[in-house]
């Protein structure tokens, strides 16, 4: 019994040394590589920033969300084109959750609420009365 326990203990504490070294190296290499990727990404320069700004300047600012066309939901493309998801105005209550552009996208933002009347608006309203 004692010999069996000792053999098992040996097996538990000393497995294949070569395999152990290999796994240690793999772990170290993957950790260092991942760190290098993160650091490189963090300090990376945006090479096409000027060209991107030129494009946006030409368009007057276009695109905001994670879709590339206006089918179904232009709010998901750019809230400047539509302030809410089209499904909010649809016949189905809570239809927002059925919008295929929202279900599948990685970016999300709240709907643009109508602007609140300012003091100047209130004064104008009072003057008109």
* Residues between 27 and 86 that touch another protein (CB under 8 A): 27, 30-31, 33-34, 37-38, 41-42, 46, 48-71, 74, 76-83
The distance from CA 98 to its chain's CA centroid, rounded to whole angstroms, is: 20
Exactly one of 3, 5, 92, 94 binds another protein (CB under 8 A); that residue is 5
Closest separation between CB of residue 94 and another protein, Å?
Answer: 13
CA pair distance 129, 127, nearest whole angstrom: 5
Query: Which residue from 14, 92, 94, 126 is in contact with another protein, where contact means CB under 8 A?
Result: 14
Structure tokens at 93: 């209550």
Select the residue interacting with another protein from 24, 45, 87, 129 (CB under 8 A). Answer: 24
CB of 10 to another protein, least distance (A): 10
* Contact residue for another protein among 25, 90, 98, 100 (CB under 8 A): 100
Query: Least distance from C-beta 115 to another protein, angstroms?
Result: 7
> Binding of another protein at residue 16 (CB under 8 A)?
yes
Residue the block writes with tokens 């920033």: 49
- Between the alpha carbon of residue 50 and those of residues 23, 45, 71, 103, the distances in Å are 45, 12, 29, 33
- Measured from the CB of residue 32, what is the shortest distance to another protein in angstroms? 8
Sequential DSSP letters for 65-112 = SS-SS-SS-HHHH-TTT-SS-GGGGSSSTTGGGG-HHHHT-S---PPP
């Amino acid at each position: 019994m004692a010999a069996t326990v000792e053999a098992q203990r040996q097996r538990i504490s000393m497995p294949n040394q070569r395999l152990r070294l290999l796994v240690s190296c793999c772990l170290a290499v993957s950790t260092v590589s991942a760190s290098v990727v993160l650091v490189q990404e963090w300090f990376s320069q945006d090479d096409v920033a000027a060209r991107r700004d030129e494009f946006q300047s030409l368009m007057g600012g276009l695109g905001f969300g994670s879709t590339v066309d206006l089918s179904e939901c232009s709010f998901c493309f750019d809230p400047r084109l539509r302030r809410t998801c089209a499904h909010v105005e649809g016949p189905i209550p809570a239809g927002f959750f059925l919008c295929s552009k929202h279900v599948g996208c990685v970016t999300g933002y709240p709907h643009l609420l109508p602007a609140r009347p300012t003091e100047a608006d209130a004064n104008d309203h009072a003057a008109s009365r």
